[in-house]
Amino acid sequence: MQEHNVNSASEVLARHVREYLAELAGRGKSDGTIADHARGIRVLVRFWYAENYLAAPLLIQIPKVGKKRLLSLDADNLNRVINACDNPRDKAIVMMMADSGLRRSEICNLNWSDIDMQSGLLRVKKGDGA
């Protein structure tokens, strides 16, 4: 902000925030990183307004984050992976992932106690198992 001769919160303008976010984009930062910075700035600006450092609230637009498409296998590639499995356990894991859409970490967190053979239900712990 010193480059723009901004020395106090009361001198910050929405244009300064837009310029900063554009600078991040110019440095190749990801959409998610830029949106995170925008959210942080918006929180700070709201605090400054609530504490009377700013005379009027600044409207900070959060940039849209592009949706990432997850890689997937078509039927031919899935069959290649299944046929490349050396043992029934690996084949079962690949087929479970393909049939259920479970992630690698979710498969790794499975225990025998998570399987109900009577009902065919499986209890899945999301992410790190928490």
Q: What tens digit of pLDDT does each residue of 69-98 get?
A: 777 888 999 999 999 999 999 999 999 999
**Average pLDDT estimate for 33-57:** 93
Tell me, what's the pLDDT at 69? 77
The sign one gets for the Cα dihedral 129, 109, 106, 110 is negative
- Give mean pLDDT, residues 55-81: 86
Arithmetic mean of pLDDT, 3-22:
88
Cβ–Cβ < 8 Å for 58, 50: no
Dihedrals phi, psi of 118, to nearest 5 degrees: -65, -50
Interatomic CA distance for residues 62 and 37, integer angstroms: 9
Provide the pLDDT for residue 127: 59
What pLDDT does residue 66 have?
Answer: 79
Residue type, 120: G
**What confidence tier does 58 reach under pLDDT thresholds 50, 70, 90?**
confident
Distances (CA, A) of 7 to 12, 38, 51: 9, 20, 17
Whether the predicted pLDDT of 104 surpasses 90: no
pLDDT(130) > 60:
no
